[in-house]
């Protein structure tokens, strides 16, 4: 079986909210991508790369991968630093 990645996707940089950043994704790695000579698009004849599964927790994703005998790699999310600011801070410096 192919190797899969289990991770939390990054938040949308165009939005300030974090709505879809609590789901864990199981996604397969692409092996041997080829370039279409006519259009220049990247393509592959591997259909597992089109599969993207969402889980509500990391444990559910790991249990699914173990049950289906899928080799996996977990990418832990990085903690975001948030600096609380107020409008008055613009005038205090």
Name, in order, each residue with C-beta under 8 angstroms of 75's C-beta and a sequence gap of 6 or more: 5, 6, 7
Asked if the structure places residue 58 within a domain, the reply is: yes
pLDDT score of 49:
78
Task: Give percent of the chain above pLDDT 70.
Answer: 97
Determine the average pLDDT of the residues in 5-16: 85
pLDDT score of 44:
76
Asked if the structure places residue 14 within a domain, the reply is: no
- Going from the C-alpha of 54 to that of each of 20, 33, 38, 82, the distances in angstroms are 11, 24, 34, 27
pLDDT tens digits along 12-30: 778 777 776 789 999 998 7
pLDDT score of 53:
94
**In the predicted model, is pLDDT for residue 41 greater than 90?**
no
pLDDT score of 25:
95
Q: What is the pTM assigned to this prediction?
A: 0.72
**How many domains does one find in the chain?**
1
**In the predicted model, is pLDDT for residue 1 greater than 70?**
no
Name, in order, each residue with C-beta under 8 angstroms of 3's C-beta and a sequence gap of 6 or more: 28, 29, 70, 71, 72, 73
- Structural domain of 85: 3-9+22-92
Q: What is the DSSP letter of 38?
A: T
Asked if the structure places residue 41 within a domain, the reply is: yes
**The domain that contains 68 carries what CATH number?**
3.30.160
Asked if the structure places residue 87 within a domain, the reply is: yes
């Amino acid at each position: 079986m192919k190797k899969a990645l289990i991770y939390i996707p990054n938040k949308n940089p165009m939005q300030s909210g974090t709505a879809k950043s609590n789901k864990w994704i199981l996604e397969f790695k692409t092996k041997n991508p080829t370039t279409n000579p006519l259009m220049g698009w990247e393509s592959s004849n591997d259909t597992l790369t089109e599969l993207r599964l969402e889980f509500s927790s990391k444990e559910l994703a790991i249990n699914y991968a173990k049950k289906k005998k899928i080799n996996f790699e977990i990418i832990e999310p990085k903690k975001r630093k948030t600096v609380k600011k107020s409008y008055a801070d613009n005038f205090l410096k």
